[in-house]
Structure 1
Amino acid sequence: MTESIEKIVAELPSLKNVTGAWAVTDERLARGDAVFLADLGIALARTYGSSRQVWQYRSVFDHLLRLLATTPGRDNAVQALRLVGSAEVAGRKLDRYVTSLLASGHEVADLTAVFTGQASEELRACLVHELVLRGVVVEETPGIARWVTSPHWSHHPLGRLPVRLSDVESRADFPNYGAHGSSHSMPYGPLESRAPMVIADARVPSVEETTTQAAAGAMAKAVANWAEESNGRIEARLFVFAEPLDAGSVPEALLTLGLECLRGAGKKTELSVTACAPAQVWRVLFAAASSGGAYNSGSYGAYGRLAAWQSMAALAGCPEGAAVSEVEARVRDGTWHVFDADTEWFEQVAWDIGVAALAPGRRDLAVLAATDTD
């Protein structure tokens, strides 16, 4: 059974549940009628888009958008673009969301319409980096290469990111989208088993804190959404040692810095500090930025990539605005650790991050900790 768009729009606020409306959109798309879904979405947005009280609208709109954007087929991708590009719907946050959906559900060839039609520059820029993250060589892809290699978008915030994937980014985690929801892996959180550290008698040189508000904000870019949009808290601090610090002494050094996140950590309180490759840190920061914390959805892939690199740059001691190639070189020359502690500061639910970066020269130590809870 099918229903008219006018009838669905008129009856929507009175519905106790929206499964019937979902079924209509499912059935129409199964018949190949992607235009109906886009028309319905535009009509719903025109009627209810300015009201946040109509939960039925939000549910049905997201369902039909997900159907169009994640069901393979060029017609579906084109109608998803028509929907998000309409005056009733268009917005930067939606562009970020829909490009993540499109990149997860469509062949690259089906997405070239983004670069030939009326899509916004924001949507194009986001899609470029969603594809780059998935290993697509966009500057060699027909239908996309011309836009990617044009200098006209270099002013865009995402324009400073390279259009080829770095080795440091090789383990990005992506959400799994479906019509009824999504899921994503979380490469962080409290360890399932954490043995108390054995604190050695390593010599730790005298140290001075050099944290500034600007530096703390830069280091925290990837996790800022946890505090701004969810229940999270962040500690980001910089320290300079009087003499080079032996990389093996980083665990002991962390306990001397007066970190709030490690208050009470030591011989009796469980603490884990592990040396790791910078790729592991990037993966954690990207996941935090792109997928968000307990009560938000993050910045999605493109801006998640940007935020992860901004945090990595600050942790590695790079000047603001440094090219990613420069950042990557300095990141590789540093020494990276992740840490986890059973302290009251960490929520110990699912969203716990601890990173310590010892810069080349081994005197500058950057620490970033974040936690969130539902």
Structure 2
Amino acid sequence: MASGQPDHFEQIHQWAEAGDVVSIGMLAHEFTLRERGEECSTEISFARERLATIPGLDAIAQVLSLLESAEPAEVRFLAAALARHQNAGDLVAGLFGRATVPSHTHELKACLLHELVLEGVRVEGFSEILEFGDLLARQDHPLGDLPLRRLPVEVLFKKPVYLSDAPSGERIYQQPSFSGCTLVKLHDPSAEESIKKLLGETAAETFGKISADIFKASRFVGRENISGAIKGLSLPYVRRSQGDPFLISPEVALRLLFALAASQQYGAYGRLSVWESIRGFVGAAPGRGICDLAEMVESSQWYQCIPKSSWSCDEGKALVLIAVRPDGHTIAALGATRRA
């Protein structure tokens, strides 16, 4: 920045700390009238993001007035910020309950609805939000099929969520070999692609590697033989020297998936990506609703493994998650890395 030029970012930060919504809004609207390219766009984005964190109807109104130029990823970020920092009643009064709002606010409202659900807000207490949720379903919006309440198996979908380096849960140590059982890799591109939907639209920017594999065992697979079964799969992303898996709960399994999915997609679309991925994990037929999927999740066995260092060390965080489907014979495996 040239000497003598104002530091607009610092000025916006100071105004935000003081709750000066008017000054931030005036400066941001001044930027919209200038032709300064990327620099001006970045300043407007910063102003929007700081306004979203200031509680109150005035800040909500300023965010909406500056929303039209926001990119889709920022709209998702703003929805998450508004859900976290604003009162639900103010969001209803300033957005959901308004008779007329600009058409470009539709996607913000869609994301915001499910960000509120993830924040634990009982949206069923607001008729305006429920009506909008019904509208999304009728429009076949991507988020329209998500429940308007957090399901019991989603109880650990708390934000922010982080992907830990160390697996949690009960470690299942080496058992007798899996002799006498055959493990066959299935060609199931539909399930594999469904599992990979965890990445959403951000694969290139966020994930270094991803692999999904489906296997069929001739014997029932349970905690008494899972360690031998996993070693028999020879998965390229599992560290064989520490291949004994950790038994985890369905809630922890979904939290791990959500930690990956929400890292760039934020809560609403991260939640959607988890359930699209789960469809492949549990082998659900097309058309099965999310509540049905939740039951299948709870009927499956879930294990976390230590990733192979040579597979993930250059990429940052990694996750190896294995599900034994309710039939007890089908194993679905995911290996994914996220750049640090």
Whichever residue aligns with residue 101 of structure 2, its letter is Q
Residues 85-134 of structure 1 deviation map (CA, whole Å, 9 limit, x = unaligned): x3xx1443332111011011111112112212515221111111000111
List aligned pairs for 1:1-374, cutoff 5 A. Answer: 14-15=1-2, 20-29=7-16, 33-45=20-32, 47=34, 51-52=37-38, 54=39, 57-58=41-42, 60-84=43-67, 86=68, 89-112=69-92, 113-115=94-96, 116=98, 117-119=100-102, 120-141=105-126, 143-150=128-135, 153-175=138-160, 185-190=161-166, 198=174, 200-203=176-179, 205-223=181-199, 227-230=203-206, 232-262=208-238, 265-266=239-240, 269-291=241-263, 298-347=264-313, 350-374=316-340
Secondary structure of residue in 2 paired with 1:345: helix
Uncovered stretches (5+) of structure 2, i.e. residues with no partner? none
Matched residue count? 334
Identity over aligned pairs, percent: 25
CA contact (8 A) 1:236 1:368 kept: yes
Contact residue 210 and residue 239 of structure 1 kept, 8 A: yes
Single out whichever of 60-69 and 321-330 deviates more from structure 2: 60-69
Cα distance change on mapping 1:160 and 1:191 into 2, 3 Å: closer
Provide the residue aligned with 1:3 in structure 2.
none
**Residue aligned with 2:285, SS:** coil
Alignment check: 8 A CA contact 2:181 2:217 kept:
yes
What's the secondary structure of 1:245's corresponding residue?
coil
Structure 1 residues 110, 34: closer, same or farther in 2, change over 3 A? same
Instruction: Quickly say closer, same or farther: Cα 1:31–1:233, change in 2 above 3 A.
Output: closer
Q: 1:283 to 1:204 in 2, by over 3 A?
A: farther
Within 2, Cα distance between the matches of 1:169 and 1:211?
A: 30
Q: Which amino acid aligns with 1:307?
A: S
Relative to structure 1, the CA distance from residue 312 to residue 143 in structure 2 (aligned partners, 3 Å threshold; closer, same or farther) is same
How large is the Cα RMSD of the aligned pairs? 3.0
Q: Aligned-pair distance for 1:371?
A: 1.5
SS at 1:344's partner residue?
helix
Counterpart contact for 1:69–1:102, Cα < 8 Å: yes
Partner Cα distance (2:223, 2:5) in 1:
57
Q: Structure 2: which amino acid aligns with 1:62?
A: S
How far off its partner does 1:258 sit?
Answer: 2.8
Distance 1:142 1:323, change over 3 A: closer
With over 3 angstroms needed to count, the CA separation of the structure-2 counterparts of 1:226 and 1:23, relative to structure 1, is: closer
Q: Deviations over 1:243-291 (max 9, x none)?
A: 32234322211111131113xx43xx22341111111111111111111
Distance 2:26 2:7 in 1: 18
Structure 1 position 212, deviation (Å): 3.3
In structure 1, the gaps of 5 or more residues are 1-13, 176-184, 292-297
Q: 2: distance between equivalents of 1:205 and 1:16?
A: 74
Q: Normalising by structure 2, what TM-score? A: 0.87
More helix by share: 2
Contact 1:347 1:373 in 2 (8 A): no
TM (norm. structure 1) is 0.79
Using the TM superposition, give the Cα deviation of residue 213 of structure 1 relative to its aligned residue in structure 2, in angstroms: 3.2
User: CA 1:228 to 1:320, structure 2 compared with 1: closer, same or farther past 3 Å?
Assistant: farther
